């Protein structure tokens, strides 16, 4: 495993972060989920990402149970706050009330005294930014949070938060967690250069575009059984944008590129996002241990310019790159 600093901070995290969105607490039974987390540990992963909202708070419970006997100082545990976690009007958003209550609940579920990184899961237009930043800073001063970050914020929102924190003398954000892959490049034009300037690192999710970049989905063919594309619910909705013949045909052109490097298409996809110098880590999920064992091999892989150019040529016409697609709800969900 290789390690990188998270933004302009002293915290180093594994190039591969294990994330349990969608799978744990819902699609995968708890025993398999714990075996997968233990496989991630065995593979050298020290960084683990979850969120209060995943599987209706159950994902945090699964992760806490799996990690409870590990040496806490050897782990970096991340979670997030924003989306609804209860029926109340204040069980959502980035108000001081919800941040404090949600953090305490996450700590209980994760069975830990602190989280290494606490992230604003979206931007909250209904809460003054200074209120959110002050609440985060108070958690840092209380020792319940070591660092703070955001997820899916625009370049302007990130700059405003960094500037305001400096003016108020508060702990600054060091990370952003956006979607990023060969197919989804909306952060490249604005978020990445702004973040690089401000010392904010990217912890990217869905580097394999919900599994499409693994190459297992073929144009003109139904999705294999027991895959995200053949399931129902949030996972199927997310992957549906890529289940077009033009995209799937282009992705098949990546297979020989990966093979020439001795990589699987999935490993190539992960190595590609790690080639961006502003990316600190790629979040990889898994529904069974072997998946994480295979994908972790992307750590430390270096892609040359010719390979990067070949990837761009293969995917020409199917890449999404409009920075305006980084959005948060106008009102709290």
Residue 14 · residue 300 · CB < 8 Å: no
Residue 213 · residue 269 · CB < 8 Å: yes
Residue 21 · residue 30 · CB < 8 Å: no
For the chain, the farthest-separated pair of C-alpha atoms sits apart, in whole angstroms, at 57
The tokens for 6 are 């998270």
The tokens for 320 are 């999404």
Give the active site residues.
Answer: 54
Residue 288 · residue 39 · CB < 8 Å: no
Residue 99 · residue 66 · CB < 8 Å: no
Residue 333 · residue 92 · CB < 8 Å: yes
- Three-state DSSP at 197 gives helix
Residue 283 · residue 76 · CB < 8 Å: no
Which of 308, 11, 5 minimizes the C-alpha distance to 145?
Answer: 11
Cα 229 from Cα 236, distance rounded (Å): 5
Which of 134, 131, 136 minimizes the C-alpha distance to 149?
Answer: 136
| Bridge partners for 19 per DSSP | 49
Burial of 111 (0-12, 13-18, 19+ CB in 10 A): middle
The tokens for 126 are 């209904």
């Amino acid at each position: 495993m290789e390690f990188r600093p998270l933004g302009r901070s002293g915290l180093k995290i594994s190039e591969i972060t294990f994330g349990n969105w969608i799978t744990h607490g819902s699609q995968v039974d708890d025993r398999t989920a714990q075996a997968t987390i233990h496989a991630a540990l065995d593979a050298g992963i020290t960084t683990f990402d979850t969120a209060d909202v995943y599987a209706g708070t159950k994902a945090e419970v699964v992760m806490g149970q799996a990690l409870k006997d590990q040496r806490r100082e050897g782990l970096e545990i991340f979670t997030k706050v924003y989306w609804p976690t209860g029926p109340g009007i204040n069980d959502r958003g980035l108000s001081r009330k919800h941040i404090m209550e949600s953090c305490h609940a996450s700590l209980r579920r994760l069975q830990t005294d602190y989280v290494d990184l606490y992230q604003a899961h979206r931007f909250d237009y209904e809460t003054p930014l200074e209120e959110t930043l002050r609440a985060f800073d108070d958690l840092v001063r209380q020792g319940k949070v070591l660092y703070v970050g955001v997820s899916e914020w625009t370049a302007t929102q990130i700059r405003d938060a960094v500037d305001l924190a400096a003016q108020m003398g508060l702990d600054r954000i060091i990370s952003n967690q956006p979607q990023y892959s060969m197919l989804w490049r909306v952060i490249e034009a604005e978020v990445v250069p702004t973040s690089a300037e401000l010392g904010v690192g990217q912890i990217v999710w869905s580097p394999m575009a919900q599994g499409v970049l693994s190459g297992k989905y073929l144009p003109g063919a139904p999705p294999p059984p027991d895959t995200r594309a053949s399931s129902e619910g949030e996972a199927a909705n997310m992957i549906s944008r890529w289940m077009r013949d033009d995209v799937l045909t282009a992705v098949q052109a990546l297979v020989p590129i990966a093979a020439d490097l001795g990589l699987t298409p999935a490993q190539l996809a992960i190595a590609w996002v790690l080639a961006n110098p502003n990316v600190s880590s790629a979040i990889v999920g898994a529904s069974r241990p072997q998946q994480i064992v295979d994908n972790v091999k992307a750590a430390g892989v270096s892609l040359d310019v010719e390979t990067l150019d070949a990837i761009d040529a293969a995917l020409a016409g199917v890449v999404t790159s409009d920075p305006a697609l980084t959005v948060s709800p106008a009102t709290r969900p």
